[in-house]
Amino acid sequence: MHDLSKHNTLALKVVADKVECFTSETALQALLATGAAADSLILGGGSNCVLPPVIHQPVLIPALRGIRVLQETTDQVLIEVAAGENWNDLVWYTLQQHWYGLENLVAIPGWAGAAPVQNIGAYGVEIKECLHSVRLLSLKNGSSEERLAEDCGLAYRDSVFKNQERDNWLIVAIRLWLRRTPLLRLDYGEIRQQLQMMHCTDPGPLEVAQAIQTIRQRKLPDPEQLPNVGSFFKNPWLDKEQVDQLLQQFPDLPHYPQEGRIKLPAAWLIERCGLKGQQNNGVGCAAQHALVVVNYKAQQNTQREVLDWVQQVQTAVQQRFGVWLDVEPRVYVPTA
Ligand code: EPU
């Protein structure tokens, strides 16, 4: 039995029959080629999953490391990053190299290989914008494939790897186009305000990353201190008619029109249901940010307590606003 309670940032009590950690792509491919790991559960940084208390299928940890330059032009550089590289370390490394584009995605927990699965996004930027392709190994037979970003179905917190291609592939590396000349994205929320507070009148990408890191530290609980997987719910997208109806009842409802639809902040809906800072059985919505489900009983609570709380939140929001909140992390149902 392997204890995975320290390998998931919700700190759920989890044990697995078999865990294999790979640092070599060749060894990983050789195993997959046998077909013996076809039903494996792939675990990266464990920062976007809700694991069951007991896992019977093999757990594969693709702890592959390495960052290399594949191509350089006067304006851009194409890099390949192995799946097991820490995402936040990668962001700071690219900034040190004067390669730009990832600065708004600083301080997101997890590993690089998982980043395209949910098309990580923050502060007005998504990985979709700089992803060139991903390198894949088939879980069924170990065959390899390169898949271009446009064929990955990347959308708000979504990709083919969460849907029709779920459990088909293991992402071994991601390829990113980064810029040599910065193109700052400062329009989201409090970025400009934070830069002003830092007395930064002429910011570069490094200062933007520092500003966003500070905002995140202020707004989001650190999983090391208070176990969580970041936003637990996706922000819902509604049609204009639905939002107009809601606005009649709740005139102060924040809403953000984008691409013909309207995004509502799930955090606001949850807070308005009185659930921010509340908990049940040691699982609740963080007092700092309503969207973050936190586990106050590290290594004691299991998936059950989390899902009970999540259902309570979904039901309350549904009853009050008629809006269903979809969950963001992957919830693994227990296998027989
Ligand atoms: N709000 C509340 N109560 C709260 C927190 C926020 O009412 O407790 C409202 C405010 O009106 C605020 C709005 O929600 O203006 C939006 O809040 P915020 O800017 O914090 O962003 P978010 O929509 O809650 C999303 C991402 C985060 C990402 C931030 C910044 C999703 C599901 N979450 O959160 O991503 O860091 O924007 O870009 O889209 C993650 O995915 O794990 C994550 C943290």
pLDDT tens per residue, range 273-295: 999 999 999 999 999 999 999 99
Please, are residues 40 and 19 in contact by the beta-carbon 8 Å criterion? no
For residue 280, what is the enclosing H or E element? strand 279-280
CB of 152 closer than 8 Å to CB of 196 = no
CB-based contacts of 249: which residues, under 8 Å, 6+ apart?
none
Q: How many whole angstroms from 265 Cα to the centroid of ligand 1?
A: 7
Q: Is residue 217 part of a domain?
A: no
Asked whether the predicted pLDDT for residue 258 surpasses 90, the reply is: no
Whether 218 is in a domain gets the answer no
Domains in the chain: how many in total?
A: 3
Looking at the fold, whether 48 and 106 belong to one and the same domain comes out as no
* Residues 92 and 50 placed together within one structural domain of the fold: no
Q: What pTM did the predictor assign?
A: 0.97
Indicate whether 88 and 39 sit together in one domain: no
- pLDDT tier, 189 (very low <50, low <70, confident <90, very high otherwise): confident
When pLDDT is cut at 50, 70 and 90, the band that residue 263 belongs to is very high
**Any domain includes 203:** no
11: in domain: yes
Nearest CA to ligand 1 atom 32: 234
Q: Which atom of ligand 1 is the closest one to the Cα of 230?
A: 42
Could you tell me the sign of the dihedral formed by the alpha carbons of 236, 241, 247, 252, in that order?
A: positive
What's the CATH number where 7 sits? 3.30.43.10
Last residue of a domain, one of 179, 195, 215: 179
Same domain, 256 and 317: yes
**What is each CA distance from 176 to 88, 90, 266, in whole angstroms?**
15, 11, 30
Q: How many Å is the maximal CA-CA distance in the chain?
A: 60
- Ligand 1 site, residue 190, Cβ cutoff 6 A: no
Q: Does the beta carbon of 275 sit less than 6 angstroms from any atom of ligand 1?
A: no
Same domain, 71 and 168: yes
Chain center to CA of 7: 16
Query: Which phi and psi (to 5°) does residue 83 adopt?
Result: -55, -30
How far apart are alpha carbons 222 and 61 in whole angstroms?
Answer: 23
pLDDT digits (tens, 9 = 90+) for 216-225: 999 999 999 9
**In the predicted structure, residue 71 carries a pLDDT above the cut 90:** yes
Q: Which domain holds residue 54?
A: 2-62
Residue 290 beta carbon below 6 angstroms from any ligand 1 atom: yes
